Structure 1
Amino acid sequence: MQPKNIATFECEVIQKEFKLIGQSITVNFPDSFPDAAIKLQKDFFNRVDEVHNTKSKEVLFSPYMCNEIIATYFACLEVDEIDKIPEGMIGFKLPMTKYAKISCSNKTISEGYDAVFAWMKEHGYKQRWFDHSSPVEIYYIDENALEETAEILIPIY
């Protein structure tokens, strides 16, 4: 179900675990972004019917890992169980993690990052760096909309 407001920039702390199946790409950073991420998401969206046990085929999860030289970016669906992984895809679990979450849109993702990091600093949170965690972008797909609701989740401690 899609949240009602686009780009509210409201922040909160949530705890969540994810079971995901999807595809990934590793490219130079920042030179290849956002083009590589957009292409990966479009390519994966053409294959979503191959993924079984999905919670929703209209919600795209994009965890990533980046060291400012290269980035690995994922396009995934959340599933009930990680089984029957289609060829060329990967299944993995992000364990229960505390996240700073902000609501934005696919058009305001950069502003969303600025706002969530400012909110984290203001509230005394620090980013948890890849210790059994990963930042996640979530996109609520609406093929008929010019702007789609998105969320950014940053692992925190």
Structure 2
Amino acid sequence: MNVPALETLLAAFPVVARIVVAWSDMDALGHVNNAMYFRYFEAARIAYLERLDAMALLGATGVGPILAATHCHFRAPLTYPDTIAVGARTTGVGEDRITMEYAVVSPRLGRVAAEGGAVVVTYDYQQNRKAPLPEALRARIAALEGAPAGLTP
């Protein structure tokens, strides 16, 4: 069987987080518990936001990201031991939000084990409400994704 390389499976994702699957990630059925995939997505999302320097923006302005929605499609069960690669990318930019996609790739399985997505809203933590996506963040996303700043959902 010809197994695609990790680089090929994650070529469309500008940020990739490598995560060691822990024994404690598994449940009584002997595979990684479904809730853990959302932690894996979170790790990739935070790595992506760090690449954008979004947390510095939060510190300077009080405006930053907040998770509005997330989902996962399970393709193959992960097990211990494994070191997975989780890709993150932005597929849509709106007035006050970005839409993200994730892919979880297992070198042990040689395939995508899960795919997911999220809506991340720009939030004013001082005013406790949504805020417009800052132009600086919009430009950083476009640069990271290799797309025009007007990338739309």
Q: TM range, normalised to the smaller chain?
A: under 0.3
More helix by share: 2
**How high is the TM-score relative to the length of structure 2?**
0.27
Larger radius of gyration: 2
More strand by share: 1
Q: Which one scores higher on RCO, CA 8 angstroms, separation ≥ 6?
A: 1
